[in-house]
Amino acid sequence: MGKILMKGNEAIGEAAIRAGCLNYFAYPITPQSEVAEYLAKRMPEVGGVFLQGESEVAVGYMLFGAAGAGERVFTTSSSPGISLMSEAISYIAAAQLPVVFVNIIRGGPGLGGILPSQGDYFQATKGGGHGDYRLLVLAPASVQETAEMVMMAFPLAEKYRNPVMILGDGLIGQMMEPVEFPDHLRTAPSDKNAWASNGMATRGSRQRNLVKSLFLDPEALNNQNLLLKSKYDRMRREEVRYETYNLDGDYRVLIVSYGTMSRVCRTAVDNLKAAGVEVGLLRPQTLFPFPLEAVREAAGRPACQAVISIEMSMGQMVEDVERAVCGIRPVHWYGKCGGDVPTPEEVMDVVRGLMAGGR
């Protein structure tokens, strides 16, 4: 099958189906309601489950129940909706269930706006819900990559028995680009009989399975948290993904940027290069685990004088960039989060300003 033009939101729905996920629960919210509209039509065609829940709170637990019963399941939402689901996300992570969440971020806090933003970086990578849990967070920068990450997310969620979040923004959801759904990303669901509460008869077992998150004994709870931590540590070792651009030359400034914003930065890097100014770009594709070592190494190159995190938020990823750079270079931030995405020209001005500052 060749490439077809698709909106990001529709590609998300189709990619999930191609990945073998036939269960979708959601609540409408701009700017990603097209996913629900697409799947309301598509799921019945493929014999799948589509249900519009009464709230994101309820949807979170529909996902819990379905995943707890051993079935592949996913949802899509946007920022305020993810806040409401965050309670369930904590429980889902605690009960070690593989669920895929897609957050097509809009501007916040509060109702904020409906235009693109990256203001949910902290929520996705540092928590959102209560307790010591982590999500594996994938950040696509194109419709094609969104489709691929959605397809990858299911086996990843099953590998770790942990929720995975695709963190996009309103522009990724709304724009149309050519996309194809690679066959090699089609995976069979993993065997969940060891833990799913899918009925003893389903797995021909006399042992019952419990899906739960309550550990009243302090030692048991500490052990449970150590077990979860070991999974997050393994993600840090095995799942770091990033892309570099123009990191071969003697760049004087290193930009770290992800998602839609990174594409704007790429254009700025091209334009600056044409003007004789070398700037490097590192684009994290996983936000948790964050590519700490790659950023540190790129920042440490002799010609590099400064590092800047450019994001559609008021300075969230920059904290991870600072953590990576460990003070060996000055770390700056530039961003906007009203929905007005910075242009390549703005990025170029900011970079030039950094260089003129002699830092």
Output 100 or 115, the one with its CB closest to other proteins.
Answer: 115
Cis previous bond, 80, omega within 30: no
Phi, psi of 288 (to 5 degrees): -130, 120
Shortest Cβ 25–other proteins spacing (Å): 7
DSSP state of 106: B
Asked if residue 277 binds other proteins (CB under 8 A), the reply is: no
Q: Are residues 137 and 93 in contact, defined by beta-carbon separation less than 8 angstroms?
A: no
Segment interacting with other proteins, rule: CB under 8 A, options 49-57, 77-85, 220-228, 234-242: 49-57
Distance between CA 359 and CA 348 in Å, rounded?
A: 16
Asked if residue 209 binds other proteins (CB under 8 A), the reply is: yes
Asked if residue 259 binds other proteins (CB under 8 A), the reply is: no
Output 199 or 353, the one with its CB closest to other proteins.
Answer: 199
Q: Are residues 119 and 167 in contact, defined by beta-carbon separation less than 8 angstroms?
A: no
Asked if residue 274 binds other proteins (CB under 8 A), the reply is: no
Asked if residue 115 binds other proteins (CB under 8 A), the reply is: yes
Binding residue for other proteins, selected from 41, 186, 212, 359, defined by CB under 8 A: 212
Interface size with other proteins, residues (CB under 8 A)? 66
Segment interacting with other proteins, rule: CB under 8 A, options 55-63, 78-86, 288-296, 316-324: 55-63
For residues 287 to 326, the per-residue mask of contacts with other proteins, x marking binding by CB under 8 A and - elsewhere, is ----------------------------------------
Asked if residue 46 binds other proteins (CB under 8 A), the reply is: no
Output 34 or 239, the one with its CB closest to other proteins.
Answer: 34
Q: Which of residues 141-200 bind other proteins (CB under 8 A)?
A: 142, 170-171, 174-178, 197-200
Q: Are residues 22 and 48 in contact, defined by beta-carbon separation less than 8 angstroms?
A: yes
Binding residue for other proteins, selected from 35, 43, 63, 151, defined by CB under 8 A: 63
Asked if residue 272 binds other proteins (CB under 8 A), the reply is: no
| Residue 33 region by backbone torsions, left for phi larger than 0, else alpha for psi between -120 and 50, else beta | alpha
Neighbours of 218 (CB within 10 A): 8
Amino acid at 343: T
Neighbours of 139 (CB within 10 A): 31
Count Cα neighbours of 356 within 13 Å in the Cβ-side half-sphere.
Answer: 6
CA distances from 157 to 95, 106, 280 (A): 13, 24, 32
3-state secondary structure of 51: strand
Output 18 or 192, the one with its CB closest to other proteins.
Answer: 192
Distance between CA 310 and CA 344 in Å, rounded?
A: 11
Asked if residue 95 binds other proteins (CB under 8 A), the reply is: yes
Shortest Cβ 68–other proteins spacing (Å): 5
Helices (H), 258-327: 259-274, 292-299, 317-325
Asked if residue 49 binds other proteins (CB under 8 A), the reply is: yes
Distance between CA 253 and CA 273 in Å, rounded?
A: 12
3-state secondary structure of 155: helix
3-state secondary structure of 25: strand
Asked if residue 224 binds other proteins (CB under 8 A), the reply is: no
Binding residue for other proteins, selected from 20, 28, 53, 80, defined by CB under 8 A: 53
Shortest Cβ 353–other proteins spacing (Å): 19
Asked if residue 40 binds other proteins (CB under 8 A), the reply is: no
Distance between CA 13 and CA 46 in Å, rounded?
A: 12
Shortest Cβ 185–other proteins spacing (Å): 20
Tokens describing residue 220: 């048991």
Amino acid at 268: A
Binding residue for other proteins, selected from 15, 19, 31, 288, defined by CB under 8 A: 31
Q: Are residues 28 and 53 in contact, defined by beta-carbon separation less than 8 angstroms?
A: no
Asked if residue 84 binds other proteins (CB under 8 A), the reply is: no
Which residues lie near other proteins (CB under 8 A)? 3, 5, 23, 25, 30-31, 49, 51, 53-55, 57-69, 71, 73, 87-88, 91, 95, 113-115, 142, 170-171, 174-178, 197-202, 208-214, 260, 263-264, 266-268, 270, 341-345
